[in-house]
Structure 1
Amino acid sequence: MAELNNKSLLNVNDFEVSFFTYAGEVKAVRGVTYELKHGEVMGIVGESGSGKSVSSYGLMGIIPDPGKIIGGSITFDGKDITTMPEKEMAQIRGKDVSMIFQDPMTSLNPVYTVGNQIDESLRKHTDLNKQQREERIIELFKLVGINQPEKRMHQYPHEFSGGMRQRVMIAMALACNPKLLIADEPTTALDVTIQAQIIELMKELKDKINMSIIFITHDLGVVSEICDKVAVMYAGNIVESGSIDDIFYDPKHPYTWGLLKSIPKLNAEEHERLIPIEGTPVDLINPPQGCAFAPRCEHAMKICLTKKPPLCHVGENHDSLCWLNVKEEFDKESGK
């Protein structure tokens, strides 16, 4: 496995994004903070609408209208990309930071061959001539496991299966050897066999070129396969973060407990029902005054409804945004 470089590649600090709609301000990302080192893989998990994808679009500088960055900073490789001019950002996007989008069929242009679409990125970000670019595309296709690359590069997206289109998207994202790869639910629409192949492929590529990966998903099972650490998002906040072992074996936030209970287990009793998280996600136009998860939390206390919980350090590099952790610490100190 590639050695992790202790220097930070990415620092996201108190990052906030809002969408200004006719109905009001949707506070989609509400103060996200995390760090990513060279060669590290971080999983971002949570329900749909928790802010996972929007926070990653900020890293690429592609937040769609009517969205705006309203606070915080993102420092990538020593540069603040939230204040960077678009011309300079365009040089980083696709070269140093690449993204595999959720749905390859809508992300690939149906009227251009897949080779042409990868070639566009190579023309923009490298000095390779036409023959060298063609050789690079063939090399990328072999790297991601696409057979007959010389023939396949001249085909259109509709001529590929779902798993193969996803491999094309990965090849496109890797074309310029990025330092950071953002994978937004890259295995959601795939069957389990292809899913396992894609995860194995990403693990191999990470080690080969020592790139960092942010893996966005709602599937904790997938996260356990590839990630070094996990950030659990709910209602635009990271409510818990830690190593794989911290999150799976010593979770400290009720929302994380709920996510883990909803995963099917191989050793479960026959006909054992999964336990869903009751209730619905909060309205981010009018988020609650206190903890956003309190209305759905069976452990909620009075303070949870009125005051936002502080970030508690519950272990080495393990943090949780929950009043229960404050109570637990208080009970320890008072000898209860």
Structure 2
Amino acid sequence: MAETNNQSLLSVNDLEVSFFTYAGEVKAVRKISYDLKFGEVMGIVGESGSGKSVSSFGLMGIIPEPGKIIGGSIVFEGRDITKMSEKELIKIRGKEVSMIFQDPMTSLNPVFTVGNQIDESLRKHTELNKEQRKERIIELFKLVGINQPEKRIKQYPHEFSGGMRQRVMIAMALACNPKLLIADEPTTALDVTIQAQILELLKELRNKINMSIIFITHDLGVVSEICDKVAVMYAGNIIERGSIDDIFYNPKHPYTWGLLKSVPKINADEHERLIPIEGTPVDLINPPQGCAFAPRCEHCMKICLTKKPPVCQVGENHEALCWLSVKEEFEKEASK
């Protein structure tokens, strides 16, 4: 593990993001808060539509129309990203905060060579001359494990395999040695062998340059490989967060229990079935009055349907947004 210090690189406070559509306001991110220290890796986990990617787009200032940040703050090294102009955002985007997007084929421009696309970022954010930029691109390709870099920088995205395109995206994101790397499901479309190589590469790079990483995924197996702590998202809320050990060995929210039950286990019996989470995600145009997970929760109580649960401290740096945790605390106090 890379050493981390106690100072926060990033502090997200009560962030709210909505999409204003013809059908109504889609409340995609609903008051989420977290801190990230230098050199720390945080996983954000949840189903599709839980708000994982949208919250990360906010960190880059690239929320697509008709989306808009409607509340909260994103403080990066003492500067609030939500209050920055587009000109100020361009200065930090790609230089101090970089992102690896989910699908490299649609993220890379098919009409430019991959070398040219990385060179653009170096031209914009560094004072390197043409020869120095070429040396830097070759160095990056070697760093991410692309063979024959002198030849490969002259090739186009379609000449690379899926795994190699993802490595190009990582090289592009690392070009200016960012302090924060956002990896949005970077291994989802890859086979398990390439997935393992990409994860190993990110771990190595994190240790080499003490870079903080936000790793967005729906795969808890991937999270256990690379992250220090985890935030579990559901319906635009962080419903549980804690260390890797907290989430895997002492989870407190029924949704987290469901996610863990749906992960294949290597020591499972041959005919043991995975247990899916019943039901469908809630409508974020009209989110429920109480707990968003209540309609799908087998532990649902009457209060869950009418009142949103408070944030409950269930351990050191371990929080859950669940009435069950509140009930458990009451029962502990009553038994004393």
TM (norm. structure 2) is 0.99
Q: Pairwise mapping of residues 54-73 of structure 1 onto structure 2 (< 5 A)? A: 54-73=54-73
Pairs aligned (count): 336
Supply the distance in 2 between the matched residues of 1:90 and 1:235 (Cα, whole angstroms).
Answer: 30
Matched, 1:188 2:188: yes
Instruction: Render the CA deviation track for 1:237-296: whole Å, top value 9, x for unaligned.
Output: 000000000000000000000000000001111110000000000000000000000000
User: Percent identity, aligned pairs only?
Assistant: 87
Measure the CA separation in 1 of the matches of 2:279 and 2:129. Answer: 57
Tell me which amino acid in the other structure corresponds to 2:290: G
Once residues 138 and 5 of structure 1 are traced to their aligned partners in structure 2, the CA distance between those partners, rounded to angstroms, is 32
SS of 1:90 mapped into structure 2 = helix
After TM superposition, list the pairs within 5 Å mapping 1:16-27 onto structure 2. Answer: 16-27=16-27
**Match of residue 146 from structure 1:** 146
Where in structure 2 are the equivalents of 1:21-36 lying within 5 Å? 21-36=21-36
Letter in 2 for 1:269: D
Q: Which residues of structure 1 form unaligned runs of 5+?
A: none
Query: d(CA) in 2 for partners of 1:101 and 1:258?
Result: 27
2-side partners of 1:326 and 1:108: how far apart? 48
| Distance of 1:223 and 1:67 partners within structure 2 | 28
Deviation per CA, 1:53-73: give whole Å up to 9, x if none: 000000000000000000000
Q: Distance in 1 between matches of 2:294 and 2:97?
A: 36
Q: Which residue of 2 aligns with 1:42?
A: 42
- 1:128 aligned residue: 128
Find the aligned partners of 1:271 and 1:154 in 2 and give their Cα distance.
50
1:126: Cα distance to partner? Answer: 0.1
Cα offset, 1:93, TM superposition:
0.3
1:121-151 CA-partner distances (Å, limit 9, x unpaired): 0000000000000000000000000000000
Deviations 1:157-181, CA, capped at 9 Å, x for gaps: 0000000000000000000000000
* 1:332 equivalent in structure 2: 332
Give the whole-Å Cα distance in 2 for the aligned partners of 1:315 and 1:335. 19
Which segments of structure 1 move beyond 3 Å, counting only runs of 4 or more? none
Letter in 1 for 2:309: P
- 2:264 paired residue number: 264
Amino acid at match of 1:31: K
- The 5 A counterparts of 1:145-224 are 145-224=145-224
Secondary structure of the structure 2 residue equivalent to 1:285: coil
CA-atom RMSD, angstroms? 0.6
Q: Which amino acid aligns with 2:188?
A: T
- Please give the secondary structure, in 2, of the residue aligned with 1:122: helix
Secondary structure in 2 matching 1:99: strand
Give 1:41 deviation, angstroms: 0.0
Distance 1:267 1:308 in 2: 38
Partner residue, 2:240: 240
SS in 2 for 1:6: coil
Alpha-carbon distance between aligned partners in 2 of 1:64 and 1:33, rounded to the nearest angstrom: 21
CA shift, 1:2, in A, is 2.6
1:12 is matched with which residue?
12
Aligned mates of 2:5, 2:111 — CA distance in 1: 41
- 1:119 matched residue in structure 2: 119
Q: Are residues 1:303 and 2:316 paired?
A: no
Between the aligned partners of 1:152 and 1:267, the Cα distance in structure 2 is 42
Using the alignment, how far apart are the partners of 1:211 and 1:169 within structure 2? 16
Alpha-carbon shift at residue 3 of structure 1 (Å): 1.4
- Correspondence for 1:87: 87
1:207 shift after superposition: 0.4
Task: Report the alpha carbon displacement of residue 334 of structure 1 after superposing the two structures with TM.
Answer: 1.0
CA distance in 1, matches of 2:250, 2:212: 25
Aligned residue type for 1:296: R
Distance 2:334 2:209 in 1: 51
Q: SS in structure 2 opposite 1:5?
A: coil
- Separation in 2, partners of 1:277, 1:61: 33
- Aligned equivalents of 1:182 and 1:271: distance in 2? 38
Report Cα offsets for 1:178-236 as digits up to 9, x if no partner.
00000000000000000000000000000000000000000000000000000000000
The aligned amino acid for 1:315 is G
Tell me by how many angstroms 1:333 deviates: 1.0
Amino acid at match of 2:274: L
Task: Report SS of the residue matched to 1:44.
Answer: strand
TM-score, length of structure 1 as denominator length:
0.99
Q: Partners in 2 of 1:213 and 1:55 — Cα distance?
A: 14
> One-letter code of the match for 1:137?
I
Deviation per residue, 1:28-78 (Å, 9 max, x gap): 000010000000000000000000000000000000000000000000011
Q: What is the identity, as a one-letter code, of the residue corresponding to 1:47?
A: E
Which residue type is aligned with residue 129 of structure 1? Answer: N
Paired residue type of 2:216 = I
Q: Does 1:227 align with 2:217?
A: no
